[in-house]
Amino acid sequence: MPFDFSQLENGLIVSCQPVKGGAMDNAAMVVGFALAALDGGAIALRIESADYVRAVRAATDRPIIGLVKRDLDDSPVRITPFIEDVEALASAGADIIAYDATDRVRPVSTRALIERIHAAGKVAMADCSILADAERALTEGAEIVGSTLAGYTGPVEPTEPDFALMRGMRALTPYVIAEGCVRTTDHAVKAHAAGAYAVVVGSAITRPEHVTSWFRSALDDAQASGA
């Protein structure tokens, strides 16, 4: 049965990706975060690893965006770099499979990844860094483009969402997912205004280590400035 994109429209997607090796990095915690997010109004989930996708799929029938993250020695690509990653995610129950859509050295071509995603009957989500990534992904057959990697291909990680990229992608397709540095309700509203079909929030909801560090840094900065 074809995926019903309308179920994502104007929706909140929660990314339940614990800090690797952290206190929440186990299946029970990921499932707990996922179910709590759905209780709070999320319409879909973004889950890393086939094992965690499988665990969450057993607990809910809501849409899951699946991905695999790897640290490779010979490529900067981290998100779903291999065909076997696609196959594992599809088998685990992901509805949408996200992949790195950047134009960088990679073990498998983006076209090959999309073809395998479609062969498994799944939807392809292109995690993009710039507008050219989205243009190429749509030409190759991806159904969804996301701002996921905006700013993450350079030496300094971003701290704000790339609303300009969202607007540019919206001119190409209605199926734009805002993702990356969406840390406040204001960010989410601005992403929607920029044309996002749905908005992903991750660390601000499901990585308490990160959120705690934001508050700790703010207090430290205030003390240092004498505020």
Measured from the Cβ of residue 159, the count of other Cβ atoms closer than 10 Å reads 9
pTM flag (> 0.85)? yes
- What pLDDT score was predicted for residue 157? 84
Q: Spelled out in words, what is the top-level CATH class assigned to the domain 5-225?
A: alpha beta
User: d(Cα 30, Cα 205) in Å, to the nearest integer?
Assistant: 12
Give the residue ranges of the chain where pLDDT is below 70.
Answer: 227
- What pLDDT score was predicted for residue 154? 83
Distant-in-sequence, close-in-space partners of 163: CB < 8 Å, separation ≥ 6:
190, 191, 194
Question: What is the helix (H) or strand (E) element at residue 45, kind and residue range?
Answer: strand 44-48
Q: What is the pLDDT of residues 36-83, one digit of tens each?
A: 999 999 999 999 999 999 999 999 999 999 999 999 999 999 999 999
**Domain-by-domain residue ranges, the chain?**
5-225
Burial grade of 224 (CB within 10 A; 0-12, 13-18, 19 or more)? exposed
User: d(Cα 105, Cα 67) in Å, to the nearest integer?
Assistant: 19
Q: Distance from CA of residue 24 to its chain's centroid? A: 18
- What pLDDT score was predicted for residue 227? 64
User: d(Cα 88, Cα 136) in Å, to the nearest integer?
Assistant: 25
